[in-house]
Structure formats: C-alpha cells, structure tokens
Chains A and B, each alone.
Chain A
C-alpha cells in the first residue's frame, strides 16, 4: 500500500512539475524581449488595476530602436501606472511575428503595417483612429493611412532615400554636386569615373548587392521611381494593372548601377548590404543608394564628405525632382483588443506625440534618452517634431526648402512581397547577362506579375 502511494505521489509530482514548467516557459515567451517587467507580475498583483486602466502591448518593427522603446515604456508606466510591454520582432520577421502574436489571447494592442497593401491583410484588426488625440497631432493628413473614411493607421516616422555620395571622392574625380541635375549628367559622371577608375582608385557605384540583406534597395526602392513617374503621368496613386511605361528608364538606371560599380555584375547575387556599406565607408565607391536611416552606418566618413542626390532615371522634369520621401511605418491599434486596452493604447500614442520626454526620445539622437543613451533619431510627422541632427535628414529637408518636389513612396502599393521577390530574381538574372531576352523577364515580373498578384490577392 505504501508503495502505491509513493508511486502515485511521484507521478503526480512529475506531472505537476511538467505543468508548472509549461506555464513558466509561456510567461517567459511573452516577455522574452520585454525588458524588466514580466506579465506574470501583473497577472497576479495588478489584475484589477489593468482591468480598469487597460494595458499596452507594442509589437515594435525597428530592432535598432528596441532599447529606446523599452526605456520609454518604463517611463510611461512610472508616470501613469499603465503597463506597457514592448516586444521587438527580429529584422525581416515582422509579418511572421505579428501573425503568430495576433493569434494569442494576449495579442499586441499596438502594431504596424507598411501601407495600403499591408493594411489589406490586417484591415479587420485596425481600429478607427479618427478623432483621436494622436491623429489630431499629425502635421498633415497625408501621414494617416486611410481605408475609405476610416483612419486605420498613423505614420510615425518620415524617411527619405536617394543616392548618398562621397563629396571628397566626387571632387577628386573632378565633379561636384552641381554637375549632376539629371540622368544624363549622372550617367556621364559615372561612366567617366569607370573609365578612369584604375587611375582614381575607386569606382562610381558601390555594389548593388542582390543578397536578401540588400536587394530591397533595388526591387523595392529603386522600382519606386518608374512607378512614381507612371502614376504621375496617369494622374493616379494606385493601380491594379501597371503599364510599365517607364521600364526603359528603370533599365538604364539599373545598367548604370551594375556596370559602373566596384563589383562584376555576375557576382552581385552574393553581395550583401554590409558589403556596400563597407565599400562606401572605405572610399571604394562614390555613390551608395540608401536612405536617411543609414546615417549611422556612413557617418564615419565625416559629415563634410556626405551628400545626397535624388535618384535620376530620366523622367520628365527631373531637374526639379527631390529625394524619395514617405513612410512605410504606420501605427495601428488592434480593434479586437478590449475597450480598456484600446483606450490605454490611444493614450500612450498621444503621450508619445506630445510629451516632452517622449518627443525628445523619438526625434533626438546623441544623449536624447533620459538615461543618456542615444535617441531614435526619427523625423516624426507630428506637430511636436524637433530639428534633427541626422545630416541626411537635414539634406532631405533642404531639398524640400529649395523647392524640389519629393518623390512619394509608391512602393507601398506594390501588390505583394512575392511581386518584389520575382522582380528581384529577374533583376539578378539580367544583371549577370544583360540581354533583351533577360530584360523581358524583368518586364514580365514587373507588368504581368503585378496583374497576376493583384488578381491572386483579390481571389
């Protein structure tokens, strides 16, 4: 008899330890990146509190700003007593993480989509934000993401991209920024540098790497320009069937990139984003296509050596073209969260847009956090925005001040990730063997692919 009890007791103990094991690891997962606060603590102690006040769970997109968000969340909780959990998705894994997190009972209350196409898959989850404080704080309605009359998303950071260049090298080659005001100039300068590259010791362009860490610069960002000019010519801002009227321009800028670079076009498929940065910083290439977010990567060469040019592709009136400016980061509030959580999240967003500490943390860079760490260095679309000390951001603002027209980010209307991948593959194949037949692959991926992706999404 005694033995039996011992056996039973042992078995029960084993099972108990297994179950507690489960709950432990569950708790650990939800807050795995969530800083010091654990959700378990709130489950027991503050459950009543959080019932009235609600809580915020922010699924952050930008890994580079993770530490800052954790700190802001802590400050907000200290100030208001509302629990804020910030979890950051790994780079490139946002959709994957969001899909699985949204399936849980403690789903994110604050998440982000990248524009109209991203919104299409999450539209049921986006609460209407019209009339909220954070919406009223926007300096322009253009930065809200609308779905009919519903305000589904609020942009929170404005970014610009173009061709970053090394002033010192450009002048060594005998040119200055003033010499480049359209595609023909850019081509002339780039080809001249290529012709003399042995003597100069550097190439015109850094490698246009088509590795996954870098190919978005071309299949997404560069592809924005032919789309922009087509939309502009047709007076539209979205389409179900792209015509590809500016694909010849896309081809000539791509030719220019790959044939005047540090790298043999056949080797582009393995070149990474880091390769291009390294080449630029070490002065092996004059031009590097990227955006304001890359400032921390390239600032080593010194502010006095950094400049930024619009990406000229030979469109009409491009002398007045500015940098590509826009956002693909829209905050959305989870409509399926509880009333209290939605309210808490909206309050948190309003706080971010108006509170002095929060604004400084988002806009400032060196030492902008209360802890003395660097801020996020964003340009926010809110009325409270501060002047930036990101040189590239200031260059972008100068283009606007000089009356140049910023190019809008139409790549948010690209029908799917798959479309971008197909265009990217085709670009890689074409770069290695630049025949008309291979360019037809790009064309097919661009034009036919667009239509079939739209059809697939509507199906």
Chain B
C-alpha cells in the first residue's frame, strides 16, 4: 500500500492541485497584477505602474480604517479569548447540562454575518432610542457594538477549541500538582495555561485574522457610519472598488497591501505564541 502511494502520489495530488491552482494561485497572481493596472473589467487592464499604490496611501480614510481595525483587533483579541477561556473552564467542570450550554454558546457562530449585523442593529437601536441616540451616529457606540457582536459570535467557536485543549491535559500532572499542594491559581497558571498553548496559538491566530478581515458584520451593523469613522479595512476596499469610476485598480492595490499586513501580523503572532508552547 505504502509503495503504491509513493509511486502514484501525483495522481492523488493532481485533482486537489488543479483545484488549488484554478481557485487560488491564478486569481491571486492575477489580483496582484491587476493592482498595477487601470481596468473596468479584468480583461481590458492597462498597466500603470505603482500609481494605484500611491493613491491608496494618500487616502486618509484608508489609513483611518487601518487604525480602527488595529484597535478593534486588539480589543476583540483580548475579549474573545478571555471570555472563551473562562466559558471553556466553566463547561469542563462537572456541571449539570454542560452539553446543552456548549451547544448554546456555539450556536451564534452558525448564523451569517449580515443577518447578525442587522439583528444586533435592531437590538442596539431599540436600546439607544431610550437614550436619544443611535448606533450610526456615534463612533464609540459603533465600535463597542461591533466588539459585542464579534464576541457573541466567536466566543462559542473559540470555546470549543479551548475545551478540546483542556481535555487533552493529562490528569496525572494535575494530580501530582494537587498532591504537591499547588493551589487552584497555581495550577491554572503553572499547568493548565502552559499546556494549553497550542490551543491558545490557534485561537489568537483565528481571532486576529477574523477581526482584520471582518466585513459582513461591519457592513450590516454600522456601514462605516458616521462619516467613515467605524469603517474597517475590508469595507473601505469594497467601497473604493465600487464607489467611484476608475477606482478599481486602487481598490485592488489596497487589497494587496491589506493582504501583506494580515499575513505579516499572522506570522508574527504564530511565532510569538509557538515559542511559548511546551512539550508534554
């Protein structure tokens, strides 16, 4: 069996490879090429050099969106992971009905972003109406509205990963620590968390990239109002692409810049957290 796999691996790899090339490599390379072009449809692209990149960096809204997105990513990184970890801890204790609670916490993740955005907009605005304001009028409200929405949606997903991590910690280490007289806090910080590092790596990676790429929720909840102050990078790119005649190339250039930034941050974060992982 092993032998034939060795001999025929190209046959097995080919279908996936073809799909990967068609679905990813080709559009990706074409996308980078288009960021140096002026075009209406992708067929009649005309090469213009770095002009698009210059225009992209001159756009104050784009830089503002980057700032907003960064702050948002940091805040959600902390909130989502801390909450998810706490919920995971609670739901690995001997609680009655913990399976039901796990399901309940996970469910918001199954709802699409646009729907979530509109539902939360209704909820928030019904509340803000009492205080004579609205979500789209105040950037601070918009920011925290987005944070709450994203926490609500993603805590359940990260919780599942943390639960898996918690359950993988060998019981004997815990018992040994208890016998040695470690307190609950000591056990959490000296044993549980170090042993959880692989799960933490994955969860922080997912939350950071998710927050950077956030689009539907942003579009549906605040739409960037008021005056672009709650606009995130993905939404800014979308608006650039479709908002003006002849700006397709600039939108494309912004998308490439955005891609590089997200990849760089993702890799950096992976490196930092992976260094902290321990061998069991």
Main secondary structure of the interface of B (DSSP, over half): helix
Residues of A within 8 Å of B19, CB to CB, are 18
CB < 8 Å A-B pair total: 100
Contact of A426 among B4, B43, B227 (CB under 8 A): B227
Chain A nearest CB from B217 CB (Å) reads: 15
Q: Mark A1-23, 1 if CB is under 8 A from B, else 0.
A: 00110011001001100100000
Contact of B40 (CB < 8 Å), options: A102, A264, A421: A102
B59 closest partner in A (C-beta): A456
Chain A positions within 8 Å of B102 at CB level: none
With an 8 A cutoff between CB atoms, is A117 at the interface?
A: yes
**Across-interface contacts of B129 in A (CB, < 8 A):** 264, 267
Asked if A124 is at the interface of the complex by the 8 Å CB criterion, the answer is yes
B172 located at the interface, meaning its Cβ lies under 8 Å from any Cβ of chain A in the complex: no
Chain A CB within 10 Å, residue with most, of B11, B223, B243: B243
Q: Which of A11, A120, A270, A417 is within 8 Å of B242, CB to CB?
A: A417
A8-B244 in contact (CB<8A): no
Number of B residues, CB within 8 Å of A? 36
Please indicate the chain B residues that have their CB under 8 angstroms from the CB of A176 in the complex.
Answer: none
B137 x A121 contact (CB < 8 A): no
Complex CA distance for A7 and B11, rounded to whole angstroms: 9
Flag whether A174 is at the interface (Cβ < 8 A).
no
B112 interface hit (Cβ, 8 Å): no
> What 0/1 readout, one digit per residue, does chain A (418-459) give for beta carbons within 8 Å of chain B?
100110011011001000000001000000000001001101
Question: Are B244 and A456 neighbours in the complex by a CB distance under 8 Å?
Answer: yes
- Report A90-133 CB contacts with B as 1/0, cut-off 8 Å: 00000110011011000000000000011011101100000000
- Distance of B271 from chain A, by nearest CB (Å): 37
Asked if B132 lies at the interface with its beta carbon under 8 angstroms from chain A, I say yes
Asked whether A212 is an interface residue with its Cβ less than 8 Å from the other chain, the reply is yes
Q: Are B225's CB and A417's CB within 8 A?
A: no
Contacts A103-B43, A124-B44, A212-B223 given; indicate if A7 touches B133 (C-beta within 8 A). Answer: no
> Is the beta-carbon distance between A121 and B11 smaller than 8 angstroms?
no
When C-beta atoms are compared, the residue in chain A nearest to B5 turns out to be A7
A425 to chain B: closest residue by CB: B227
Task: Please give the distance in Å from B266's CB to the nearest CB on chain A.
Answer: 29
Residues of A within 8 Å of B212, CB to CB, are none
A418 touching B227, Cβ below 8 Å: no
Residues in B neighbouring A96, C-beta threshold 8 A: 242
Q: Is the CB of A269 within 8 A of B225?
A: yes
Once A425-B228, A426-B227 are accepted as A-B contacts, the answer to whether A432 and B134 lie under 8 Å apart by CB is yes
Q: Using Cβ atoms and an 8 Å threshold, which residues of chain B touch A432? A: 133-134, 137
Chain B residues with Cβ under 8 A from A125's Cβ? 40
With A7-B4, A425-B226, A428-B226 known as contacts, the answer to whether A269 contacts B134 (CB < 8 A) is yes
Q: How far is the CB of B149 from chain A (nearest CB, A)?
A: 16
Q: Is B245 in contact with A11, judged by CB distance below 8 angstroms?
A: no
In angstroms, Cα B14 to Cα A246, docked, is 66
Using Cβ atoms and an 8 Å threshold, which residues of chain A touch B44? 124
Whether B189 is near chain A, meaning CB under 8 Å from some CB there, is no
Q: How far is the CA of A418 from the CA of B227 in the complex (A)?
A: 12
- The verdict on A196 contacting chain B, using a C-beta distance below 8 Å, is no
The answer to whether B134 touches A425, judged by C-beta atoms less than 8 angstroms apart, is no
- Chain A CB count within 10 A is highest, among B227, B245, B246, for B245
Report the bound CA distance from A14 to B136 in whole Å. Answer: 51
* Residues of chain B contacted by A270 (CB below 8 angstroms): 121, 125, 134-136
Contact of B239 among A11, A102, A421, A441 (CB under 8 A): A421
Which single residue of chain A is at the shortest CB-CB distance from B8? A7
Given A269-B134, A270-B121, A425-B225: A416 in contact with B242 (beta carbons within 8 A): no
The answer to whether B11 touches A8 (Cβ under 8 A) is yes
- Tell yes or no: A266 within 8 A of B by CB: yes
B93 within 8 A of A: no
Whether A266 pairs with B137 at a CB distance below 8 angstroms is yes
Give which listed residue, A121, A210, A264, contacts B246 with CB less than 8 A: A121
The answer to whether B134 touches A266, judged by C-beta atoms less than 8 angstroms apart, is yes
- Distance (whole angstroms) from the CB of B14 to the closest CB of chain A: 7
Residues of B within 8 A of A (CB): 4, 8, 11-12, 14-15, 18-19, 40-44, 55, 121, 125, 129, 132-137, 223, 225-228, 239, 242-248
Q: Mind listing 13 A-B residue pairs with CB under 8 Å?
A: A3-B4, A102-B41, A118-B245, A122-B40, A269-B137, A269-B225, A270-B121, A270-B135, A417-B244, A425-B228, A428-B225, A456-B247, A457-B245
Q: A120-B245, A429-B226 are in contact. List 17 more A-B contacts (CB 8 A).
A: A15-B15, A18-B19, A121-B245, A124-B44, A212-B223, A416-B245, A418-B239, A421-B239, A422-B227, A425-B228, A426-B227, A428-B226, A429-B137, A432-B134, A453-B244, A456-B244, A456-B247
Give the 7 A-B residue pairs with the shortest CB-CB distance, closest first: A418-B243, A269-B136, A103-B41, A121-B245, A416-B244, A102-B41, A11-B11
